[in-house]
Amino acid sequence: MPRPQRVLLVDDDEDSRELCAEYLGAAGFEVLQAADGAAAVETAIRRKPDLVVMDLAMPIMGGLEAVERLKHDTRTRAIPVIVLSSTGDVDHAKAERAGCALCLVKPCDPEELESLIRTVLDTHRLDVPSRQSWSG
């Protein structure tokens, strides 16, 4: 039996991160968590998530900088990233240039987020045949 799809949630708001992690865990995902961009980059390199959900405004390292680092590293560049931010003025063009698959504004309905995660993972799986080497 294959392992559950692994999602890395990155948000400095612990309550939001925990609620989202509970929902996605109940939906069948293996959920990893990080509280800032630097921890997200480290976790992504070490644990190879199938997808990252990244907040933008965080201490230590912001979300866009973390995405740029992930996309410039050969070990993590193929991991799709969904940006989830409470700021309504997300610069979608900048996020897209950084390598984000989608930009969502908080609060986001958990069912909608789950659906979008599955859509991105399904689309990405078709584009990246080397995913089998990421078993963990």
pLDDT at res. 34: 97
Name the phi and psi angles at 32, rounded to 5: -105, 155
pLDDT tens profile 5-34: 999 999 998 998 999 999 999 999 999 999
> Percent of the chain scored above 70 by pLDDT?
86
Model confidence at 76: pLDDT above 60: yes
* Ordered alpha helix ranges (H), the chain: 14-26, 37-47, 63-72, 92-98, 110-127
Instruction: Say whether domain 6-127 belongs to CATH 1.10.132.20.
Output: no
pLDDT tens profile 118-135: 999 988 765 544 433 333
